[in-house]
Structure 1
Amino acid sequence: MAKKSFVIQELTFFLIFTLLFSTVAKPAFSFYDVDLTHPNQTFDFVGKSGIITFLPELYENPVKRYVVFGSGSISDVRSVAHNLIYEISSKNDFFSVGVFSQNDILNLKLKGYTVIEDFPLEFDSLNQSNTTMVAHEGSRIGKILGSEDVYQKYNYTGRGVTIGIVDTGTDFSNPDIRDSLARDKNNIPIMIDADGQGLVLTNATFIANINDKGIIKNYTTTIPKNITSNVYVNSKGVFLNLNKNGKGTDIQVFNSMYPKGGGRPVLTGTSSDDYKIGKNSRNFIISKSGIYHFGVIYESVLQGQSSRLQLVPVLVVDSKIAGLYDTIISDMSDSWKDFTRFDTSLGSTPNYDFDFTDETPITLGNGKEFLIYDSNNDGKLDYSAGTVGARVLDVYGVVGNSSMIDKKIGATNGTLLSPFDSKGNYFGIMYDFQGHGTSTAASITSKGTEKYDIYGNTTKFILRGVAPGAEIVPIKALWFGDAVYGWLWAAGFNQEKNTWIFEGKPKVDIISNSWGISTFPILQSCCE
């Protein structure tokens, strides 16, 4: 019996270390207030949009994560894996974990290998019989934990403490946690995306004819080879020429849902609507170089048990110094219309304005880096696409060199991109693909100024976190799953030429890891 117990412990530890420290993780599943057991999430990717159109075939033969093992050569797996995460082999057998397409998996099965699809990661799920009791204690959490007593007696709020949240990302759109975002000495947000999800490509370029007096005119000469299109002026205003006489413009879009959806890290979409950047030839969004950069943010957010695409057109300009790009303008109003188009009357089409002139410019450090929108001007935000200024790990080598896996520590050796490319070709954003990371941050730093009908009975409560004065550094690491990279970075290490170097001081005081695999069937059977 003791030997059997030892074997089970060995298996348990092996699974925990393989799944928690491997470099790819399935999306994590969670709920607001309390994490409950629930069916698997589905991803409802829709290629049709009023903003940009993607080819349907991009969504065929999706890749997923699998365990593949059996008698034979590991080279059969290496040759087809999109990303081989873990492997161990002997003379006759092998075991591997990797990302594969459906066609590749079929071929591996035909060769006689055992194939098991990966399972969803869950967070501290509870038995269904206990969920009602726990959920209805939400409004008393401060009393239960004693944090309210600490605040009342000692006025201790956690001020001066910085906490790294290793999770699904953090959305700071809620006023209760917005001011808790940690910032550096230049007021620039401190955020890292070790998952590589928050990359936004803005490498479509449009050339304008602006004279010495600052008046913009139609661009009539031949467009340079490295320029996508031109800027034109008419009686309605100043526009980026994306329509191109009905041909449309191909736009490179980073696929934040790869490898779960889309089939490749960078998608090509077609945009056929000209975007307004000025009211007339003298009143327009300034680009000192005369080169405007355009792109589309591509995200997916949880809607019940499915995910819906969230697309945001963005304009990037060099507003002060020619060639030094410093300003981002996002068309949040059209993004909101596109996101809610399925909620409108059947057959109706949203009234897109394709207009950047009525949006709020964002510069890093101005304190307004939040991609938010109030659709009815009631003072309550209805929509968020994240926060501009995250440092994103270039996992797939989209901008820099292809990443590798450090076999000694399990972290990705890749390029950590700047939060905003000075040449205007990309920037990084922090968004929460699941909601769990935001809930974790809120349980710590919520200011308790907003009121919530958390029980659905019209009675509203404030929800103060246990340390409302603390600051949050979001560390996204549960999509691609490189928690090790996030930990090392938060602990004060920087990667230089594939070597980790300690910079002398940790970036955070505390690291929060509010996630686990408590519902994995084998682990449950071990404990029964």
Structure 2
Amino acid sequence: MPKAALFIFAFLLSVIFSYSYASTLGDLIRTDDSQNTTIFDSEIIDVDSKFFAENNFKRYLIFGSNPQENNFLKNNSINGIHTDHGFFYVAILSEQSASSLVSQGHYVIEDFKLDYHSSDGITQDASRIGEITGSTEARKQFNATGKGSTIAIVDTGVDFSNPDIQHSLARDKKNHPIMLDPDGQGIVLTNATFFAYVDKNNIIRNYSKPIPQDMTSSAYVTKDGVFLDLSQGGKGTKIPIYNSFFPQIGSSPIFEGILDKDMKIGTDNRNYIKSKSGVYHLGIIYQGGLQGPLARIQVVPVLVVDSFTPGVYDTVIPDLSTSWNDYTRFDLKPGQKPNYDFDFTDEKPIVLGSGKEFLVYDSNNDGKNDYSAGTFGAQVLDVYGVIRNNVTDIDDTLKAINGTLLRALDVEGNFFGIMSDFMGHGTSSAASITSRGQEIYDIYNNTEKHSIIGVAPDAKIVPVKALWFGDTVYGWLWSAGFENEEHSWKFSGKPKVDIISNSWGVSNFPSFKASPGMDVLSLILSVLVTPHSLDDDYPGITIISSAGNSGHGYGTIGLPNASPFGISVGATTNNVFVGYGPFKDQPRFGNTTTHYNHVVDFSSRGPGFIGDPKPDVMSIGAHGFTPSNVLKPHKDSKDESFSLFGGTSMAAPLVSGSAA
């Protein structure tokens, strides 16, 4: 009866989605803070260091029971949902604006990064996971490999650069990758345009007349090849760049950098990268991690061309060799300079739907990639409305406003989307499911090679990047098959995935005026799990969440894993451990490696708010190895692309893979 009562209450929330919307962000006030960190420096492009300063804008969650529509919220929110009984918004505001909303009786809390339930632990052997979970036996006896199942990984993103998981990227009927970035990080602006005069014989000629007025610059020919004129007589060219770190860093979502090195696009006037319209689009991928071992900026010059049909842009060419030399320039000895080539002709063109959308680079030609800038082809939510921002000079006919889900590649060549994962957490979550064990790794640094096989190597992965609490609802709805049309969510007729896997939660949760399980996020999860709750044809969806690492105390489970209708997963031990030095061959738990599958002390415990036992199921969370993204921390690093993974963050995807 308690669960039935909860269902009735949760079902009432279903009316929320008929009035959901995403609307335009108001003008942002620029701040001028002189603080800056060196990680934003690059020798490829000149950027005003004062731009990368902390500002007074923050993400806020605003909710309350006042049914009256608030135009200020509507005009300044990233997205929101409201009913006749209340509302919930995610917005970028100054502290002054947030205080004003509080004075009006609204409930306002600062949005926060999600707590990913990974656990640092002692090195374990991943080979035991298949034995303990039963996935190895399932493959042998029943050929059960997850084939035909699709899992959404709602996490820090997924980097598919590792060959062990490239096959698992979900694709649509056109073979385009299916990836979502509701966080808005993955936009790449490519709206700097360069005019090339091509004669009737497809030969590029130098052009002496004034270039068309709407062009940034032009292409020219010398004995050394064909180049885009970026130096422009020494003054350089201003390039609009999307600020993927906003609002944490920087005074606006867009900034300008100056490129003053001409980029090569051909070896001579007959052999060059073709752009059927004669117009080349140029941009900069500017991304990276703000903390941890990969806290360094990636700057990647990228060319976009219409290779097949004039005016229909279809091909992206990243200059990864130049980017790699910039990324590793700190490893050089004093006096040495990076070997930048500023050359697109030696790079691999990437066509959406080719199956090779991975931005990877092999620096020493040993057959193994050393560097990744993510995966091309993500749909990114334009949370700050940059596509209509006048600074970008993008055509208003795009009609892209704040909260608009953008195409993976703009056919007019002005932007595209990428999926990356600089934290590595989402990549490990996905790899624990779908690694096919093709690569071999010297895990224990003793020359003995190991392969790592996931529990469902033939399942497909849809990455959904959600770094903030406010991103998760959009990611869930989209994964469950809902589309945002004219400011309302409508069911498309079929969920995009079979299972949603969440390896995160809110353990030290702020006050939502509700206990975990009755908070707004847990209630939305309960509604999404329930068939026919949001639409007569909606079949519901399986949502699996990590229980959290706040144990071992009673009632330590947080949200949304406390939802009575979702499946929460706690962590147990693996316990195959090869140590080093005096601890060689000693296990982590118990006296022998035969002790395994015991509940780990850090795993969060229930019960839920209605007294139901939590977590619902258990799986390995202490610990295992997974393939990781291909991104060496140093130029001559011998590190291989695997990482230690654990916590209920690992347990949840293992259960998701087992369900597949």
Equivalent residue number for residue 230 of structure 1: 218
1:334–1:260: structure 2 CA closer, same or farther, 3 Å change rule?
same
1:441 partner amino acid: A
Residue in structure 2 matched with residue 485 of structure 1 by the alignment:
474
* Partner-residue secondary structure (3-state), 1:245: helix
Alignment-mate amino acid for residue 472 of structure 1: I
**What's the CA shift for 1:442?**
0.3
Cα 1:518/1:463, change in 2 over 3 Å? farther
Correspondence for 1:50: 43
Cα distance in 1, alignment partners of residues 61 and 497 from structure 2: 35
Given candidates 124, 135, 145, the residue that maps to 2:117 is: 124
Query: The residue matched to 1:385 in structure 2 has which SS?
Result: strand
For residues 93 and 446 of structure 2, the distance between their equivalents in structure 1, rounded to whole angstroms, comes to 47
Q: Of 501, 524, 528, which aligns to 1:512?
A: 501
Deviates more, 1:370-379 or 1:60-69: 60-69
Maintained 8 Å contact 2:283/2:302 = yes
Structure 1 pair 348–469 and aligned structure 2 pair: CA distance change class (3 A): same
SS of residue matched to 2:284: strand
| Matching residue within 126, 149, 165 for 2:137 | 149
Q: Deviations over 1:186-220 (max 9, x none)?
A: 21111111111111110000001110011111121
What corresponds to 2:632 in structure 1? none
Higher deviation after alignment, 214-223 or 244-253 = 214-223
**Equivalent residue number for residue 655 of structure 2:** none
> What residue number does 1:159 align with?
147
Gap regions ≥5 residues in structure 2: 1-21, 23-35, 64-71, 83-87, 102-106, 391-400, 517-549, 557-660
Match for 1:495 among 468, 472, 484? 484
Alignment of 1:189-268 (within 5 A): 189-268=177-256
AA in 2 matched with 1:384:
S
Identity %: 57
Task: Give the Å deviation of 1:45.
Answer: 5.5
Find the counterpart in structure 1 of residue 460 from structure 2: 471
Counterpart position of 2:375: 387
Q: How far does residue 160 in structure 1 lie from its aligned partner after superposition?
A: 0.8
| Structure 1 counterpart of 2:51, one-letter code | L
**Alignment partners' CA distance in 2, 1:413 and 1:146:** 46
C-alpha spacing 1:303/1:396, structure 2 compared with 1 (3 Å): closer
Query: Which whole-Å deviations, capped at 9, do the CAs of 1:436-481 have from their partners, x for residues lacking one?
Result: 1111110111001112233445443211111001111111122474
Work out which of the residue numbers 275, 281, 287 in structure 2 matches 1:293: 281
Contact 1:203 1:425 in 2 (8 A): yes
Residues 473-515 of structure 1: per-residue CA shift (max 9 Å, x gap): 1111224741111111111122221122222111111111111
Cα 1:423/1:292, change in 2 over 3 Å:
same
Equivalent AA in structure 2 for residue 202 of structure 1: T
Query: Residue type of the partner of 1:169?
Result: G
Residue 298 of structure 2 corresponds to residue 310 of structure 1? yes
Instruction: Please point out which of 46, 54, 57 is paired with 1:61.
Output: 54
* Distance apart, 1:55 and its partner CA: 0.4
Query: Cα–Cα, structure 1 residues 346 and 116, in superposed 2: closer, same or farther, change >3 Å?
Result: farther
Amino acid at match of 1:357: T
Alpha-carbon distance change, 480 to 195 in structure 1, aligned in 2, over 3 angstroms: farther
Deviations 1:298-343 (A, max 9, x none): 1113773562111111011111211111111110100111111112
Distance 1:172 1:44, change over 3 A: farther
Shift of 1:242: 0.4
Counterpart amino acid of residue 485 in structure 2:
E
Q: Which amino acid aligns with 1:154?
A: F
User: What displacement does 1:262 show?
Assistant: 2.3
Question: Residue 387 of structure 2: SS of its match in structure 1?
Answer: coil
- Partners of 2:425 and 2:294 lie apart in 1 by 15
Paired residue for 1:423, among 386, 394, 412?
Answer: 412
CA RMSD of aligned residues (A): 3.9
Contact 1:195 1:480 (8 Å CA) reproduced = no
| Segment drifting more, 487-496 vs 301-310 | 301-310
* Offset at residue 521 of structure 1 (A): 9.5
1:104–1:489 CA distance, 2 compared to 1 (3 A): closer
**Residues 456, 262 of structure 1: CA spacing in aligned structure 2 closer, same or farther, 3 A cutoff?**
farther
8 A contact 1:401–1:414 mirrored in 2: no
The 1:401–1:105 alpha-carbon spacing in structure 2 relative to 1, beyond 3 Å, is closer
- Give SS of 1:296's match: strand
**Conservation of the 8 A alpha-carbon contact between 1:47 and 1:55:** no
Q: Secondary structure at the match of 2:271?
A: coil
- Residues 44 and 307 in structure 1, CA contact (< 8 A), matched pair in contact too: no
1:414 aligns with 2:403: yes
Which amino acid counterpart does residue 211 of structure 1 have in structure 2? D
Q: CA deviation at 1:120?
A: 4.8
List alignment gaps of at least 5 residues for structure 1: 1-22, 24-42, 70-77, 89-94, 109-113, 403-411
Taking a change above 3 Å as real, the CA distance of residues 286 and 120 of structure 1, as seen in their structure-2 partners, is closer
Q: Which moved more, 1:516-525 or 1:393-402?
A: 516-525
What SS does structure 1 have at the residue aligned with 2:432? helix
Name the CA distance, whole Å, in 2 between partners of 1:293 and 1:87.
37
More strand by share: 1
Stretch moving more, 452-461 or 346-355: 452-461
Asked if the contact 1:121/1:517 (under 8 Å) is kept, the reply is yes
Residue 32 of structure 2 corresponds to none
Match of 1:433 in 2: 422
User: Does the aligned pair in 2 maintain the 1:414–1:498 contact within 8 Å?
Assistant: no
Matched residues in 2 for 1:97 and 1:176: separation?
Answer: 37
| One-letter code aligned to 1:277 | I
Amino acid in the other structure paired with 1:430: M
Paired residue total:
469
Give, as a single letter, the amino acid of the residue that structure 1 aligns with 2:507.
S
TM-score by length of 2: 0.64
Residues in 2 aligned to 1:120 and 1:484: alpha-carbon distance in whole angstroms: 14
- Do the aligned partners of residues 211 and 340 (structure 1) sit closer, same or farther apart at CA in structure 2, a change above 3 Å counting? same
Q: Partner amino acid for 2:158?
A: T
Question: Residue 331 in 1 paired to residue 319 in 2?
Answer: yes
Question: 2:355 aligned with 1:367, yes or no?
Answer: yes
Give the C-alpha shift of residue 261 in structure 1.
1.8
Shift of 1:54: 0.9
Shift of 1:380: 1.1
- Identify the structure with bigger relative contact order (alpha carbons < 8 Å, sequence gap 6+): 1
Whether the 8 Å contact between 1:196 and 1:480 is mirrored in structure 2 is no
The one-letter code matched in structure 1 to 2:433 is I
Is contact 2:78-2:403 (8 Å) kept? Answer: no
Deviation per residue, 1:100-125 (Å, 9 max, x gap)? 569999999xxxxx999776532225
Find the aligned partners of 1:64 and 1:45 in 2 and give their Cα distance. Answer: 23
Tell me how far apart the structure 2 counterparts of residues 264 and 490 of structure 1 sit (CA, whole Å).
Answer: 30
* CA shift in 2, pair 1:260/1:178, >3 Å: same
Aligned to 1:186: 174
- Counterpart of 1:189, as a letter, is P
* Residues 1:344 and 1:102: Cα distance change in structure 2 (over 3 Å): farther
1:394-434 Cα distance to aligned partner (Å, 9 max, x none): 111111599xxxxxxxxx97211111111111111111131
Moved more, 458-467 or 328-337: 458-467
1:98 Cα deviation from its structure 2 partner: 6.0
The SS at the match of 1:464 is coil
Q: Secondary structure at the match of 1:338?
A: helix
Deviation at residue 237 of structure 1 after TM alignment? 0.6
How far off its partner does 1:223 sit? 2.1
Q: Distance in 2 between matches of 1:501 and 1:66?
A: 26
Provide the secondary structure at the position in 1 that maps to 2:452: strand
- Distance in 2 of aligned mates of 1:65 and 1:468: 37
